Amino acid sequence: MAIIMFLTLDILIGFIQQINAVGKGDFTIGSALFYTMLTIPNRVFDNFPVSSVVGVMIGLGALAASSELVVIQSAGISRFKIAWITIMALIIWLVPISLMGEFIVPPAKLMAESFRSTKINKNIGLGINSGVWIRDGNIIFNAVPIGGAYDAPNKNIVMNDVTVYELDDKLQVIKVSKAEKAVHKGENWELSNLEVTQFVESGVSTQLLEKQSWPSRIEPEILSIVHSRPKYLSIRDIIKYKNFQVDKENIPIKYDIALWSKFSYPLLVIATALTGLPFLFGLLRSGGFGQRLLIGVMLGIVLYLVNRTLINVGEVFHVHPMAVTFLPSAVILFLVLSYLRIQKKK
C-alpha cells in the first residue's frame, strides 16, 4: 500500500516535469506518458526505502494503537525479536525488489532516456548533441546516441555520425576519422562513407573512403554503459566498465560509489524501516493513523535525503564509497537494535 501511494505521487510529479519538454523536437504528450511509464521500475526501486518505513509505521502502528504489541510482548516476544521478525518480512520484499533493480531497472531506464533523447534531439546537429564519448587507450570514440544503438544485444548494431580520434604517446591528435555510420560486427567496427584526416609534418591530408574496418575493444554494451548515469547501471554493468578501463586508478569515483550503493541497498532499506520502531513502542500507542503516517513519511524522506546527500558529497570530495553507503545505514541499524536491546533488559 505504501509503495502504491508513493509511486502514484511520484509518477504524477514525473509526468508533470516531462510536460515542460513537450514541443521540443518530436516530443509529444504521448511521448511524455510513455517515458514516464518506462521509469516506473526505477521509481519503485528508489521509493522502496521510504515505502518500507511507512509500511512498518502503518502495519505495526495499528497493533500499537490497539495495544496488541503490548499483548505480544506480554506473551514473551521481546521488542528485539519483533525487530527481527520485521527484518525477515522486509527480506521477503527485498528479494524481488533487488532482482528488479539489477535486471529490469537498468534496461528500462536506458530505454526511457534513449527514447526521450531521440524524440527531443531529432534534427539537432552534433554540435548541440555531443553524443557518447569513450576512450580506449589512444583511441577516442564519439557517436550520436540513437535509440537503435542501445537496444537488446545485437551483434550488428548501428551507430550514426561516428568520429574516431587517434592519439600519439603524447596525447596529440594524429588522425581523425569521421564516418556516416558504424556497424559493429564481432570484434570490429565497419565504418562507412568516412572522411579520414591525418596530421603529418608537412601539413594535413584528407582521404575519402567508402568502407574501413576498425578493430576495437569498444562494444555496444560499453557504449550503453557510458551513455547511462552510474546510479542507473546494474552491478554487472559497473563491473564490466571497470574491467574495460585499462587505467584503473583514473576510473571516476562515482562508479565505485554506485557499485557500493547497490551492495548496501538491502541494508539501507532495513535500517530505514526500523527507525520507526522506537516510536511504535511508546509515542504512538495512543496515536492515530494520520500521526503514524506523518512520522513514517518524515522519517523516510529525511533518511532518503541524507543518503542522497552523502553520496553526492562522496562524489565531489572523493570520500571512500563505504563511508557514504554502508557506514550510515550500519550506524542507524546498530543504534536502533541497541535501543531495543536496552529496552528488553528494562
pLDDT digits (tens, 9 = 90+) for 42-92: 999 999 999 999 888 888 888 877 778 888 888 988 888 999 999 999 999
Q: Which of 82-96, 97-111, 155-169, 310-324 has the lowest mean pLDDT?
A: 155-169
Q: How many domains does the chain have?
A: 2
Asked if 188 contacts 214 with a C-beta cutoff of 8 angstroms, the reply is yes
The mean predicted confidence, pLDDT, of the chain is 86
Q: Which residue has the cell 523536437?
A: 25
pLDDT value of position 70:
81
For residues 12 and 95, state if they share a domain: yes
For residues 94 and 164, state if they share a domain: no
What contacts 38, CB < 8 A, 6 or more positions away?
108, 109, 111, 112, 115
For residues 158 and 191, state if they share a domain: yes
Tell whether the model's pLDDT for residue 145 goes beyond 70.
no
pTM for this one? 0.86
Is 243 within the bounds of a domain?
no
Tell whether the model's pLDDT for residue 154 goes beyond 60.
no
Q: Which of 70-74, 176-180, 323-327 has the lowest mean pLDDT?
A: 70-74
Tell whether the model's pLDDT for residue 125 goes beyond 70.
no
8, 12, 17, 22 alpha-carbon torsion, rounded to 10°: 130
Which one-letter DSSP state was computed for residue 137? T
For residues 296 and 258, state if they share a domain: yes
Is 195 within the bounds of a domain?
yes
Q: Which residue has the higher pLDDT, 334 or 64?
A: 334
Which one-letter DSSP state was computed for residue 217? S
Q: What is the mean pLDDT of residues 166-172?
A: 89
Is 166 within the bounds of a domain?
yes
Residue 309 burial (CB count, 10 A): 11
pLDDT value of position 287:
58
User: End of a domain among 221, 238, 269?
Assistant: 221
Residue 287 phi, psi (nearest 5)? -85, 160
Q: Which domain holds residue 198?
A: 126-221
